[in-house]
Structure 1
Amino acid sequence: MNARPAPEFPQWPQHDDAERDGLIRALEQGQWWRMGGSEVDSFEREFAAHHGAQHALAVTNGTHALELALQCMGVGPGTEVIVPGFTFISSSQAAQRLGAVVVPVDVDPDTYNIDPAAAAAAITPRTRVVMPVHMAGLMADMDALGKIAAETGVDLLQDAAHAHGARWQGKRVGELGTVAAFSFQNGKLMTAGEGGAVLFPDEAMHETAFLRHSCGRPRDDRRYFHKIAGSNMRINEFSAAVLRAQLSRLDDQIALRDERWTLLSRLLGEIDGVLPQGGDVRADRNSHYMAMFRVPGRTEEERNTLVDRLVAAGLPAFAAFRAIYRTDAFWEMGAPDTTAAELAERCPNSDAISADGVWLHHRVLLADEQAVRATAEIVAETLGSL
C-alpha cells in the first residue's frame, strides 16, 4: 500500500461556548445535584420533547438506563429477556444483573438488527421483554416487533444507545409507545463523558423509575422513608448542562452524517469484498452512530489485521462487537441452558458479523467530502494488500 497522509477528521467530543456557558451556569446555581438544581430537570424536558416522549429520566449511564428500564418493566428472577446475539454486552448484562435469563436470537445479515421472526420463535411463557437494538442508528423493524408485542403481550424495550434523533416511518423513538433507553458515553452521538436516559410513555412508570433511581426515596422526603428498593443512578447537574448543549447541535450533525454516509456507503460498496451495512426505507432517519461494513469471506484474524492497518493509516476503525454468547461475561450469570456452540448455530448471522464486521467512528461522517473519499480509498488499498 502506498503511503499517504492520513485524512483529517473532526475531534470527538465536540464542544464550544454552549458547553462552557452551561458548566458555569451549573456551577453558579449553587446546587450541583439534581434534587437542588435545575439543569437535569431542564435536560429531561428538552430530551423528551426532542424525541416525542411524554417523560424522560436522566441517569448515570446507558447500562443503568437499560437496567432501570428492565426493572420497572418487571424483569427479574424467573423471567427471560430476548436480545440480539450481535450487540454490545450491556444489552444482555443489564438483564442478567437483575437475575433474568437472557435469550440471544439472530439478526438480519443486511441491517444487523434483530430478526423479528427469530424473536417471535424464542418467546416462552417466561418472556417479559424483547429488546431491539437500533444498530449504528438504524432503527429495527418496529412494525413487525410491535405486532409481536401486541399478539403476545410481551413488552418492547428499545435499546436506542445508538439512535439519538432517529425515526421510524416519521415517528421519533419516543412516539412508538414503548420504553427506550439511551447512552451518553464518550463516543456516542451526544455525550457528557458518561450518562444515560430512559423515555417512558406513561407517568406511573416514570414515577416508579424516579424512585428506583434515587434509592427509593420520594422527591419531598425529609425523614428517609424509602418507598421501594432502588439504587443511586442520579446524574449530576454538570453532566446535564453539557448534554443540553450537545442536544442543541444533534439535528445538524445527523443531517451531515446522513449526507456523508450516502457517499461513503456507495464508495465502500464499489470495493471488491466489502459489504456496507444496509438500510430500511421505513427507517427514514438514521442517526449513523457508526459507519459499518463487512468483509465476507475473510477470517476473523484477517479482519483484525485489516482493522489494525486501518488504524495505522489514520482511520478510527474498530472490530465489530463480539457476539454476546462468545464472551466469558455472558456465561457468568443469567445465561440460558445451552452452549456457545448451540447459540452460534442458532445465530449464524450474528456469528458472521462478529467475525467479519468493521466499524468506523461517526466522526468520519462529520468530515469533508475529500476525507470521506480518502477513507474509502484507504479501505480498498488496505484490504487489497492483505
Structure 2
Amino acid sequence: MNARQAPEFPRWPQYDETERDGLIRALEQGQWWRMGGDEVDSFEREFAEHHGAPHALAVTNGTHALELALQCLGVGPGTEVIVPAFTFISSSQAAQRLGAVAVPVDVHPDTYCIDAAAVAAAVTPRTRAIMPVHMAGLIADMDALAKISADTGVPLLQDAAHAHGARWQGKRVGELGSVAAFSFQNGKLMTAGEGGALLFPDTELYEAAFLRHSCGRPRDDRRYLHRTAGSNLRMNEFSAAVLRAQLSRLDQQIALREERWTLLSRLLAAIDGVVPQGGDVRVDRKSHYMAMFRVPGLGEERRNALVDRLVEVGLPAFAAFRAIYRTDAFWEIGAPDETPDAIAARCPHTEAISQDCVWLHHRVLLAGEAEMHATAEIIADLVARA
C-alpha cells in the first residue's frame, strides 16, 4: 500500500511588493554598491536594532561572516577553534581556511547544541575561539559557555545562521555579549539568495571587521592606503534591499513557526520510535530553522531511505548533517592530529544523531494545523515501515 501524499506547504522564499519596491529603490538610487548607496547601511542599522546589538556588518555570505569574525578574533596558523562536531561544514572550514585547527567536540543528545562540558575539556593554550552553533534556532547553553569564556579568556563566536530573531532568557542574540554570525542563504529564515551578517558587541571589533571586509581600506580613503589584510566581502545594494523586506516579516513568521512546532513536536513524540529535538526552558524564543527529529537506532542507511520516501510523498525532508570529521573536506587542511575514529569515540552523541536524525524545511511550519497532523501521520506510517 502506498503512503498518502503530503499536503501543499507554503513556498520558500516568500516575497511580495515589499521586495519589489526595495529592488526598484536600490536600482533607481543610481549607486549599486555599499560605499555609494543607502540600502546596506540601512539594513545594518535595522538588523542590529532588531537583535539588540550596537553594530551589524553585512557581508557576502554566512561562511565569510564566520571567517571574517575569526580573523578579527586573532585566529590563524598555530591556533585552534572549538566547534561542534554536529554542524554544517562551514563552521569548521571558516577556521581551517585561516590556517587554524578545527577541534570538534560533542553535542547534547537532546538539543543537538554544543556540550559545554566537552568545550571546557577541549580548551588549550592555543584555543582562540569557541564557536557554539544555535542548532535549528535553539540557542546553545550561553550561560555555561559564557562562564567558560570568562574563566579561560577565550572569546565566543556565535554561529547564529539558524537563529535570526531567537532569544535566550529574554535576551536577543546581539545582547549576549559576543560576536554573532548570520546567513541569508536561500533556505534561511531571511534570504536574498546569498548573504551574511555579523553582530558586534563593541565598536573596536566592528571597525576592524569593516576594514577587513573592504580590502583593508578605510571608508574615506582616496589614496589606496590599505591598512590591513582583507578581502572584498561587501554586500551589494540589491541584496540589502531584499533583506530589509525579509526582516519586516521575520517576527510574524517566527511566531507562527513556534505555534506550529508546539503542535508538531507533540504529534511526533507520540509516534513510536520518534524523538523530536528537545528544548531548553531558557530559550524563550526559538526561531525554528528546521523541524528536527530522531529515530534512534535506525542507522544511516535506513535513515537515508526514510528521507527518500518522505521526499517521494511530498515532504521537504533532509538527512541531518554528517559529523564534520566524517567528511573528506574536514581532513584537507587544519585538521587535528587524530583519526576520525578517535574523534568519534569522544563524540558518541554526534555519531548517533548524524545517523538517525531527519529534518523538515521550516516552510512546513508556516502551514496550518491540519497540515501538521497530516505530516505526523505520514511520518508515523513511513517510520513504521522503516
Contact 2:60 2:194 in 1 (8 A): yes
Alignment partner, residue 51 of structure 2: 51
Unpaired stretches in structure 2, ≥5 consecutive residues: none
Alignment partner, residue 106 of structure 1: 106
Alignment partner, residue 285 of structure 2: 285
CA deviation digits over 1:187-222, x for unaligned, max 9? 000000000000001111101100100000111111
Structure-2 separation of matches of 1:169 and 1:232: 36
CA deviation digits over 1:157-203, x for unaligned, max 9? 00000000000000000001100000000000000000000000111
Alignment partner, residue 20 of structure 1: 20
Q: Secondary structure at the residue paired with 2:156?
A: strand
- Note the 1:162-241 alignment, pairs <5 A: 162-241=162-241
Contact 2:3 2:382 in 1 (8 A): no
1:78 lines up with 2:49 in the alignment: no
Task: Read off the aligned partner of 2:338 and give its amino acid letter.
Answer: T
CA deviation digits over 1:263-314, x for unaligned, max 9? 0000000001101000000011000000000010111100000000000010
Deviation at 1:3, TM superposition (A): 4.2
Unpaired stretches in structure 1, ≥5 consecutive residues: none
1:333 lines up with 2:370 in the alignment: no
Structure-2 separation of matches of 1:363 and 1:346: 35
Structure-1 separation of matches of 2:76 and 2:5: 53
1:242 lines up with 2:237 in the alignment: no
Task: Read off the aligned partner of 2:46 and give its amino acid letter.
Answer: E
Alignment partner, residue 96 of structure 1: 96
Deviation at 1:122, TM superposition (A): 0.3
Alignment partner, residue 255 of structure 2: 255
Deviation at 1:385, TM superposition (A): 1.6
Task: Read off the aligned partner of 1:95 and give its amino acid letter.
Answer: A
Structure-2 separation of matches of 1:193 and 1:224: 32
Alignment partner, residue 117 of structure 1: 117
Structure 1 runs (4+) deviating above 3 angstroms are: none
Structure-1 separation of matches of 2:154 and 2:346: 22
Residue identity over aligned pairs, in percent, reads 81
Q: Secondary structure at the residue paired with 1:113?
A: coil
Task: Read off the aligned partner of 2:39 and give its amino acid letter.
Answer: E
Task: Read off the aligned partner of 1:301 and give its amino acid letter.
Answer: E
Structure-1 separation of matches of 2:139 and 2:56: 20
Contact 2:3 2:378 in 1 (8 A): no
Deviation at 1:372, TM superposition (A): 1.1
CA deviation digits over 1:327-351, x for unaligned, max 9? 0000000000000000010100011
Residues 299 and 207 of structure 1: is their aligned pair in 2 closer, same or farther, counting only changes over 3 Å? same
Q: Secondary structure at the residue paired with 2:24?
A: helix
Alignment partner, residue 137 of structure 1: 137
Alignment partner, residue 315 of structure 1: 315
Q: Secondary structure at the residue paired with 2:103?
A: strand
Alignment partner, residue 147 of structure 2: 147
Alignment partner, residue 297 of structure 1: 297
Compute the RMSD of aligned alpha carbons. 0.6
Alignment partner, residue 158 of structure 1: 158
Structure-2 separation of matches of 1:292 and 1:122: 27
Give aligned pairs, total. Answer: 386
Structure-2 separation of matches of 1:6 and 1:293: 18
Task: Read off the aligned partner of 1:322 and give its amino acid letter.
Answer: R
Structure-2 separation of matches of 1:230 and 1:351: 37
Deviation at 1:2, TM superposition (A): 3.9
Task: Read off the aligned partner of 1:256 and give its amino acid letter.
Answer: L
Task: Read off the aligned partner of 1:284 and give its amino acid letter.
Answer: D
Structure-2 separation of matches of 1:167 and 1:3: 38
Q: Secondary structure at the residue paired with 2:197?
A: strand
Alignment partner, residue 359 of structure 1: 359
Q: Secondary structure at the residue paired with 1:12?
A: coil
